[in-house]
Structure 1
């Protein structure tokens, strides 16, 4: 659905009035447009309702437009109603909003969800793509491989594809992306459900079906999904809750990237050059003939787990990373400085604008601990394929990005199974000890004392561990320094 913006708000294309009307504004200057959603898990439906008050460009005609239906189906309809006065159109819009949501339009900033009524979706209707295409004539001053990297991470279509992969409806629940508040509210819902599931598991009691149904419904209302004619699954077990936590983390990164990319482009500046400045990170292409490039290639080649046999990795390019202010924060971490290692971190293509501009971050307070095996922290690996799996590539989209970070591990709390409790006193990080590790006899130590755990996989000798490979977790962002961004191609068998 392509949107036409007039006066800062998009006229719904299905109204047929895109070329001759604008969205009315209320007394506060807010566009009188709303996208509503409602999920009923019992009846198995997932509905949307769009509502707009419109005024002709000449100011002589007034309408209220409505569109409704079931997400992921062709079920639905539209209605365009004409009014003789602006005030009567406004009143009709406000009456419909009250009827559908149980809330007065004038009080929408303090919206209260009413059972069996629609809930307002907070959507952003901006179109970045038009802006990016507006100044394509300006020549970029960046290295071609850096331009290619920026095109890769700033691609809006990949963000849309990720949302479709998450089963989020991007067609009829339309018109942009979800807001930060919706993501936070959805995390709180998952946190509530996770606590209920954990309590029921501990006490061996049954879950309250009414609570599970109510909270699941609220989640799907906050984050509209496309299940077609199928009932949305109840969020009643740790596995599905964990998957939705991961989805929301990725959505959070997409929301952050979108807000960076939607900023107005400067005249006579190539969009890629501006996006590069917005990252506030210096990226310098590493010479393929350098010792460091060869060392990173060796790290990729040797630390591929044998259980990750569906693909091999090929290094495309490596960039030296210098994030604004990150080094000062890293050097200011004085609790301990020993046991520094260069470790892998992988993430989806859509997450890298956020990672490069904001750094690696720890999950917010509203996120449930259930979604994280070793609690809320930043996770690393010494086996490249362990991290590469988090790139979520495919045969159709075979390229991904991996980060190599210098991590201050200090004294590690070693675990052989899930442990989300606080670190014991005197420890600075947690290590999930796997049954396989890189051969320690071939590790490389840099002149400044950083250990690169480069080696062929071998048995670690750890008995009774539930992990195949090592995981390293720190709980303070100051213990992490981004060093290299490695672009890789997944060569699927």
Structure 2
């Protein structure tokens, strides 16, 4: 959401809103004109509350609401763009044009050559499947990456508990009770286990959604995002986070 003042018309303000699925590079957008800044601001605050369940003036105390949009904190460092700086990329790639390295070890030389290789960086970035148009690497905060790790840790715990409970339920269903009293007791236990199992599934769905909110993947604009509902799926995402940390440092 953004308020835009028209360059030439003094009494024209536009409320720009854009929405879409995480990972969808296009999405949808809308421009609503207003004749005064006050009207535009009121509509902005109204839409913000409708979509998030929070007040715009209290964003420092923002609380995520069920089935509502949430805020994503981005890196606040300034990104300066210099469009008129001439760069000779061919010269940069020509080793003969570089000053001789003072490093004595060939291992260190190869390390820095690989570390600073733009093609290697692009290749590793593709492996992470991060939607860089929506979330550039430079905007990934360390706190965001740590929160993503914490989510994966909790997901792993829920998944392991779910698998144990699933096995217990399957075993109990294969065992026939000998007496009626035992049958009623077993039924109560089964009901509790099934309720706990459902809670675990709900938690896994919620955590998966929260994870994709802060670490959006590309290529899922028209497809369903894969559930992180297995230990192997968690390990895959952990590796992606490791790659993102290395890219963020580089």
Q: After TM superposition, is the score higher than 0.5? A: yes
- Residue by residue over 1:53-96, the C-alpha shift from the partner in whole angstroms, topping out at 9 and shown as x without a partner, is 12345793422112223355576322222222222222222222
Q: Which residue of 2 aligns with 1:178?
A: 140
Counterpart selection for 1:229 from 219, 222, 229: 222
State the alpha-carbon separation in 2 of the partners of residues 244 and 157 from structure 1: 23
Q: Retained in 2: the 8 A contact 1:160–1:170?
A: no
Residues 145 and 73 (structure 1), Cα distance of their counterparts in 2 relative to 1, 3 Å cut: farther
Report which of the two has the higher share of helix: 2
Q: Which residue of 1 aligns with 2:177?
A: none
State the alpha-carbon separation in 2 of the partners of residues 224 and 236 from structure 1: 17
Q: Which residue of 2 aligns with 1:212?
A: 204
State the alpha-carbon separation in 1 of the partners of residues 42 and 5 from structure 2: 14
SS in 1 for 2:157: helix
Residues 52 and 202 (structure 1), Cα distance of their counterparts in 2 relative to 1, 3 Å cut: same
Counterpart selection for 2:100 from 132, 137, 143: 143
State the alpha-carbon separation in 1 of the partners of residues 15 and 120 from structure 2: 34
Residues 246 and 59 (structure 1), Cα distance of their counterparts in 2 relative to 1, 3 Å cut: farther
**Aligned-pair distance for 1:190?**
0.9
State the alpha-carbon separation in 1 of the partners of residues 29 and 37 from structure 2: 21
State the alpha-carbon separation in 1 of the partners of residues 69 and 148 from structure 2: 16
Residues 157 and 129 (structure 1), Cα distance of their counterparts in 2 relative to 1, 3 Å cut: farther
Q: Which residue of 1 aligns with 2:60?
A: 109
Residues 117 and 153 (structure 1), Cα distance of their counterparts in 2 relative to 1, 3 Å cut: same
Query: CA RMSD for the aligned pairs?
Result: 3.8
**Aligned-pair distance for 1:241?**
0.7
Which structure 2 residues correspond to residues 468-479 of structure 1 after superposition, within 5 A?
none
Unaligned runs of 5+ in 2: 104-108, 170-196
SS in 2 for 1:130: coil
Which structure 2 residues correspond to residues 392-407 of structure 1 after superposition, within 5 A?
none
Q: Which residue of 1 aligns with 2:42?
A: 91
Q: Retained in 1: the 8 A contact 2:159–2:204?
A: no
Q: Retained in 2: the 8 A contact 1:129–1:156?
A: no
State the alpha-carbon separation in 2 of the partners of residues 244 and 169 from structure 1: 14
**Aligned-pair distance for 1:115?**
1.2
Q: Retained in 2: the 8 A contact 1:100–1:118?
A: yes
Larger relative contact order (Cα-Cα within 8 Å, sequence gap ≥ 6) = 2
Which structure 2 residues correspond to residues 444-455 of structure 1 after superposition, within 5 A?
none
Counterpart selection for 2:3 from 53, 58, 80: 53
Unaligned runs of 5+ in 1: 1-50, 258-352, 354-493
SS in 1 for 2:226: coil
- Residue by residue over 1:252-309, the C-alpha shift from the partner in whole angstroms, topping out at 9 and shown as x without a partner, is 2333x3xxxxxxxxxxxxxxxxxxxxxxxxxxxxxxxxxxxxxxxxxxxxxxxxxxxx
Q: Which residue of 1 aligns with 2:232?
A: 239
